[in-house]
């Protein structure tokens, strides 16, 4: 039994109870039982008729409810079919949306790449413009510097001519000085001349004496720092200390040298083998 049928049965039972109560009250309060019974029968008949009508109405309602249920099922089936169609359509649209979204992402990436390239080109263009401006500025500075350099070149050319003249004069003087030094048995080598200016601290002995030429051979040479032109003191220590004079070195070998006596010896004393030659007047300790 459907819900509507249950409601109708309850309503009928409520009416029946109501009429039963009314009948009981009437029956207890009236003395004319027969008349009242007829009335009650009549009412019962009416109620039965109404009950029949209600039952008929209930059957009609059942039929309507069954039809409504069938219509509802048909509508639900149609709705399910429609929903299935809509779901398929939604899936297709979602697929299309996904494709469009993927294409959009690719387009955005391409656009971002293009924008980045455009920005890089713009920056490169600006950098090239700055470099061009800097090059133009530098070119202008170079033109000014070139003008100054041309002036300096002309001035240096004038100075070069003066230096050439001075160099020529110095060469002539050096040649004359070299000739003069060689005539005096002196070396014109600049390193030798510098060595003469600062003689080393040396000490040796006379190994051979040429009394006629006033020359002596000594036991120290270029290995000890001697060069031609060095002047050394000459003295002896035995049997007593005596100062003899000075010699000038005229030629050197690694381990010996030849010197000539400068002037005369003290009191005309003769030089002997074993006499001391030194750069200082005192014996080396």
Statement: the pTM of the whole predicted model exceeds 0.75: no
Here the contacts of 113-121 (C-beta below 8 Å, separation 24 or greater) are none
| pLDDT value, residue 136 | 86
Q: Is residue 243 predicted with pLDDT exceeding 80?
A: yes
pLDDT tens-place string over residues 15-42 = 888 877 777 766 666 555 567 677 777 8
How many whole angstroms separate alpha carbon 60 and alpha carbon 67?
10
Per-residue confidence (pLDDT) for residue 185, from 0 to 100: 58
User: Residue 14: enclosing H or E segment and its boundaries?
Assistant: helix 3-29
The pLDDT assigned to 6 comes to 73
**pLDDT at residue 1 greater than cutoff 70:** no
205, β-bridge pairs: 276
Query: How buried is 81 (Cβ within 10 angstroms: 0-12 exposed, 13-18 middle, 19+ buried)?
Result: exposed
Q: Is the pLDDT of residue 232 over 70?
A: yes
40-83 residue pLDDT tens: 778 888 888 887 888 888 888 788 888 888 888 888 888 888 89
List the chain domain ranges: 3-86, 200-278
Reported confidence tier of residue 207, pLDDT bands at 50, 70, 90: very high
In the three-class reduction of DSSP (H, G, I as helix; E, B as strand; rest coil), residue 270 is classed as coil
- The mean of the pLDDT values for the chain is 83
Helix, strand or coil, per DSSP, at residue 240:
coil
pLDDT of residue 219: 95
Residue 256 makes CB contacts below 8 A (sequence gap 6+) with 207, 217, 218, 219, 220, 221
Q: How far apart are CA 228 and CA 240, in angstroms?
A: 30
What fold is seen in the domain 200-278? Thrombin, subunit H (2.40.10)
pLDDT at residue 252 in the model: 93
pLDDT of residue 7: 79
Task: Report the pLDDT value the prediction gives residue 285, as an integer from 0 to 100.
Answer: 43
- Report pLDDT for 157: 85
Q: What pLDDT, on a 0 to 100 scale, did the predictor assign at position 28?
A: 66
| More confident site: 191 or 249 | 249
Residue 217: the pLDDT is: 96
Percent of the chain residues past pLDDT 70, beyond the cut:
85
Band (171; pLDDT cuts 50, 70, 90): confident
Question: Closest Cα to residue 205, out of 178, 192, 224, 229?
Answer: 224
């Amino acid at each position: 039994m459907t819900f509507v049928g249950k409601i109708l049965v309850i309503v009928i039972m409520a009416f029946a109870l109501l009429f039963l109560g009314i009948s009981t009250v009437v029956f207890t309060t009236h003395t004319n039982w027969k008349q009242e019974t007829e009335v009650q029968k009549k009412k019962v008949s009416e109620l039965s008729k109404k009950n029949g009508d209600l039952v008929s109405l209930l059957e009609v309602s059942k039929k309507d409810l069954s039809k409504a249920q069938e219509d509802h099922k048909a509508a639900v089936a149609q709705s399910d079919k429609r929903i299935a169609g809509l779901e398929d359509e939604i899936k297709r649209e979602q697929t299309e949306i996904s494709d469009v979204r993927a294409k959009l992402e690719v387009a955005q990436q391409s656009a971002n790449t293009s924008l980045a390239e455009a920005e890089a080109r713009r920056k490169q263009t600006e950098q090239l413009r700055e470099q061009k401006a800097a090059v133009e500025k530098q070119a202008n500075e170079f033109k000014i510097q070139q003008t100054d350099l041309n002036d300096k070149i002309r001035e240096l050319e004038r100075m070069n001519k003066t230096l050439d003249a001075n160099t020529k004069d110095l060469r002539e003087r050096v040649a004359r000085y070299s000739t003069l030094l060689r005539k005096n048995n002196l070396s014109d080598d600049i390193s030798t001349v510098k060595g003469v200016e600062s003689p080393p601290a040396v000490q040796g002995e006379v190994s051979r004496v040429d009394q006629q030429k006033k020359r002596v051979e000594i036991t120290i040479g270029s290995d000890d720092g001697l060069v031609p032109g060095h002047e050394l003191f000459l003295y002896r220590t035995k049997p007593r200390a005596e100062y003899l004079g000075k010699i000038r070195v005229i030629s050197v070998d690694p381990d010996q040298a030849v010197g000539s006596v400068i002037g005369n010896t003290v009191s005309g004393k003769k030089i002997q083998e074993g006499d001391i030659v030194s750069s200082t007047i005192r014996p080396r300790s």
